[in-house]
Structure 1
Amino acid sequence: MPIQSPLTGNALVHGHRIATGVHGPADGTPVVLIHGTPSHSVIWRNVVPRLVEAGLRVHLFDLLGFGASERPLAADTSVAAQEALLGALLHHWGLSDAILIAHDIGGAVGLRAAVHTPERVRGLMLVDSVSYDSWPSETWRAIIRDHFDSYTAMAEPDFHAMLTRQLQMTVHDPETMTGEVLDAYLQPLSGPMGKVSFFHHQVRHYDSRYTEALTPALSGIRVPVHILWGADDRWQPVSYAHELERDIPGARLETIPDTGHFSPEDAPGAVADAVRAFARRHG
């Protein structure tokens, strides 16, 4: 049976259709899950039910240009634009504030919100987040700088083989990212729009200037911050987590053993436990 998405509907935000999902009791503490790249909300599918069982009100969405959301080629899908999208979605959901659980480039979106609109952020959990100059990798920097057009034109089988290699690096055991799980991550990037969307909506916006610009502001963050990291993350080494813990006042770091960059995929129970505990402290 194909893996089911946790998304349940759509919202019109800034003229674009955004795929969304809301789960849990209406009076539960509001939690917003923000995915990263190369991903979409499927990464949260095994976390959401555990949070709902804990009585949390869970909101999630696919970033503009990602997953089941609209993918207009002319749209700005940088993390700065996604920050504005997040603010509009909070308004759409009727949330004055929420706890943000932000993974990978979603972490950059969450950090920007904590710096620019702290009154909307009840708490921020950074999950294997990009930060400082941690992204993109040297390989992706070279592709963006020197080979963007040729990679965008690569044959479909070669593109899927490349994505498969990339995705299997995100988990502790590559066998985790096979079969229906792998298919669920690849599905939005398949077909005539998939490859073009990946390079134009995701890769072309891999740019550390968005996080490096935040570095001087980290010491001024006053919202509660919890840092959750896969101990075996090969994409965002845990050394960056220690830097964030040092630079953000009151931040606490928790690592998950035997877990890679996609910690919600590798260890959904541990991620859900951390979110529940964080929500109890700051809900």
Structure 2
Amino acid sequence: MKIILTGLTLLLALSGIGACVHSAVYTSNVEDKYPPKGTLVEANGAKVHVIEAGRDGPPVLMIHGASANAREFTFTLAPRLQEDFRVLMADRPGHGYSGRPEAAETLEVQAAQMAAVLRQLAPDQKAVIVGHSYGGAVALRLALDHPDLVDGVVLLAPVTHDWGGGGETWYNKVAGPPVIGPIFSQLVPLVAPAMVKGGIDGVFNPKDAPDDYYADAAIGLLFRPPSFRANADDMNVLQDELAAQQHRYPELSMPVVLFSGARDTVIDPSLHAGKIKHQVTGFELVKLPQTGHMPHHHHGDEVADVIRRLAADAMDQSS
């Protein structure tokens, strides 16, 4: 029996070492394939990686959702705006190439990192803030905590309210705890990339995913163990964070426009869009009957037009 237990222990140890080696190789390869494309901004003891498009015009800050990074916007919205705006696309804490400061799983700290980007890269200017999915919650917190930086908010299939429990994915629950989480995250690069490539269409349903979306959005960066755990930590506390934030939405004084796909299967539009529309005075809801969770990919022109309108209205009011 002792020999058997010793053998099993050795086998597990070797398997763990093998997983660590594989994840290290995976990380090196995926970072070679998708290197950082932007500048690094120091904020609260951590770096924020910001991809820029356009050099002149009012600033527009874009905040990506869960399981993503700033490249989400580089081939969708940015090309539509870069001739007239300075587009800033930031990796959220722990995602892409941004560092992760203490308490980065909170919306307060996530918004503070985004505020630091604006104060350093677009000083003395207000911006239109664009947030997709989880990034919508961060965009709202940025507008709540730092209204001096915000001219308007554009929300793309956002999560805005506590949804009453349940719905958390099993892999985020496993990846979060301090002991099992790091071990589990080392295994993620072994299986997750292939699984996600096959499931991307579900996020875009009922539309088709853009060709080469996995590569263009550099989704593979998610499966580096630290990034995967950062994403899990964000998601595991999101309901509590929203429960604490959602009562503050009546404080928003700037215009808020929300694009909602009626066939979104990732979030419940009737819950999030349905609640916030009653809380914000300057609120506008854009309903998209045949669209799911990625409206900026299939309605990019409409989203860009709204951004232009909010920026123009803000300039008219300030002149």
Same fold (TM over 0.5): yes
Pick from 226, 230, 242 the counterpart of residue 274 of structure 2.
Answer: 242
Per-residue deviation, residues 108-152 of structure 1 (Å, max 9, x unmatched):
111112222222211111111111114986142x55556753753
1:228-280 residue CA offsets vs partner (Å, 9 max, x unmatched) = 12232211222121221122112010023432212223332232223223322
Is the Cα contact below 8 Å between 2:128 and 2:307 reproduced in 1? Answer: no
Residue 185 of structure 1: CA displacement? 3.5
Extract unaligned runs of 5+ from structure 2: 1-32
State the partner residue of 2:3. Answer: none
Percent of aligned pairs with the same amino acid: 24
Which of these residues, 40, 43, 52, is aligned with residue 69 of structure 2?
40
* Distance of aligned partners of 1:147 and 1:245 in 2 relative to their CA distance in 1, 3 Å threshold: same
2: CA distance, partners of 1:87 / 1:257: 34
Report Cα offsets for 1:39-88 as digits up to 9, x if no partner. 111211221111123x122112111211132468x773433221110121
State the structure with more CA Rg.
2
Structure 1 residue 231 corresponds to structure 2 residue 262: yes
Residues 147 and 88 (structure 1 numbering): CA distance in 2 closer, same or farther, change over 3 Å?
Answer: closer
Pairing 1:105–2:134 present: yes
What one-letter code is carried by the residue in structure 1 that aligns with 2:120? Answer: H
CA contact (8 A) 2:175 2:232 kept: no
For residue 259 of structure 1, the aligned residue among 287, 291, 296 is: 291
Identify the residue that residue 19 of structure 1 maps to in structure 2: 49
For residues 28-107 of structure 1, what are the structure 2 equivalents within 5 Å? 28-45=57-74, 46-53=76-83, 55-70=84-99, 76-96=104-124, 97-107=126-136
In the aligned structure 1, how far is the partner of 2:294 from the partner of 2:41?
26
Distance 1:216 1:51, change over 3 A: same
1:187 aligns with 2:217: no
Partners of 1:6 and 1:196 in 2: CA distance: 16
Query: Match of 1:233, SS?
Result: coil
For residues 175 and 45 of structure 2, what CA distance do their matches in structure 1 show? 32
Q: Return closer, same or farther for 1:264/1:71 CA change in 2, 3 Å cut-off.
A: same
The answer to whether the 8 Å contact 2:48/2:93 transfers is yes
Deviation for aligned residue 1:107: 1.2
Are residues 1:213 and 2:244 paired?
yes
Spell out, residue by residue over 1:160-207, the C-alpha distance to the aligned partner (whole angstroms, 9 max, x if none): 2443355332213575266x31134422124xxx14421x21112212
Task: Assess if the C-alpha contact under 8 Å between 1:220 and 1:249 holds in 2.
Answer: no
The aligned amino acid for 1:170 is V
Q: How does 1:164-183 map to 2 (within 5 A)?
A: 164=197, 167-173=200-206, 175-176=208-209, 180-183=212-215
1:114 aligned to 2:147? no
The offset of 1:90, in angstroms, is 1.4
Which structure has more helix as a fraction of its residues?
Answer: 2
**Which amino acid in the other structure matches residue 246 of structure 1?**
H
Structure 1 regions of 5+ residues with no counterpart?
none
Q: 1:109 to 1:40 in 2, by over 3 A?
A: same
Q: RMSD over aligned Cα, in angstroms?
A: 3.0
Bigger drift between 57-66 and 264-273 goes to 264-273
Task: Say whether the 8 Å CA contact 2:135–2:158 is kept in structure 1.
Answer: yes
Distance 2:305 2:71 in 1: 19
User: Which stretch of the first structure deviates more once superposed, 14-23 or 34-43?
Assistant: 14-23
Which SS does the other structure have where 2:141 is aligned? helix
Structure 1 residues 147 and 35 mapped into 2: Cα distance closer, same or farther (>3 Å)?
A: closer
> Following the alignment from structure 1 to structure 2, what is the Cα–Cα distance between the partners of residues 231 and 172?
11
Is contact 2:257–2:285 with CA below 8 Å preserved after alignment? yes
**Number of the residue aligned with 2:15:** none
Q: Is the 2:262–2:290 contact (alpha carbons within 8 Å) kept by the matching residues of 1?
A: yes
Length, aligned pairs only? 273
Give, in angstroms, the shift of residue 14 of structure 1.
Answer: 2.6
